[in-house]
Amino acid sequence: MNFYVIVVNLCMMLPIAFITANVLEQKCIKHKGIYRLLLFVPCSMTFVSCIDTTVYEAAAIDGAAGIKSFFLITIPLLKPAIVLTMITSLNGSMQALDEIYTLTDGGPGNATLTVAMHLYNTAFRSSTNFGYASAMGVMLTLVIYLVCTHIRHLPSF
């Protein structure tokens, strides 16, 4: 029984090869963000299917066809889907903590350190400075709020 405990402990201390490479860590984190953007595909398909065909017919009568109707009709009507995707992606990327903490713990040399990870380290790990960490949390919330309201009020294309 002790032999198995020793083997498990030795295996736990060995580094995982693809995580120890700095470039691959950053690629893993970036791909996580790209997968979050894939929310846009079903959301935009739903919005495209809801666009009334009479709008395209009226645009064709007015002389807008093909690329022109795409940029003048489809994209402005997809603005809610674009805004929804941008807000959820921004919110998720600013608050990314659990995936990065379990995957790399900030990475070698803070290569994958995010704002939320720095906030966590400030509050609970390095200096236990709760006041500074709570101020960072409030500022993070304000930045996310301001950026999201700015994205929501973008003019139509």
Predicted confidence (pLDDT) per residue in 114-157, tens digit:
788 888 888 888 778 899 999 988 998 898 888 888 877 776 55
Burial class of residue 81 in the structure, from the number of CB atoms within 10 Å of its CB (0-12 exposed, 13-18 middle, 19+ buried): buried
What share of the chain has pLDDT > 90, as a percent? 3
Residue 115, token pair as written in the block = 């704002």
Which parts of the chain fold into alpha helices (H)? 2-13, 17-20, 22-37, 40-50, 53-62, 67-69, 75-77, 79-94, 98-103, 115-120, 130-152
Candidates 28, 11, 35; CA nearest to 107 is 28
Mean pLDDT score, 73-94: 80
Provide the pLDDT for residue 134. 92
Distance of alpha carbon 118 from the chain centroid: 17
pLDDT in tens, 1-56: 444 444 444 444 444 444 455 566 666 666 666 666 676 777 778 888 888 889 88
Predicted TM-score of the model (pTM): 0.60
Domains of the chain, residue spans:
35-85, 95-157
Radius of gyration of the chain (CA): 23
Most confident of 84-88, 89-93, 99-103, 140-144: 140-144
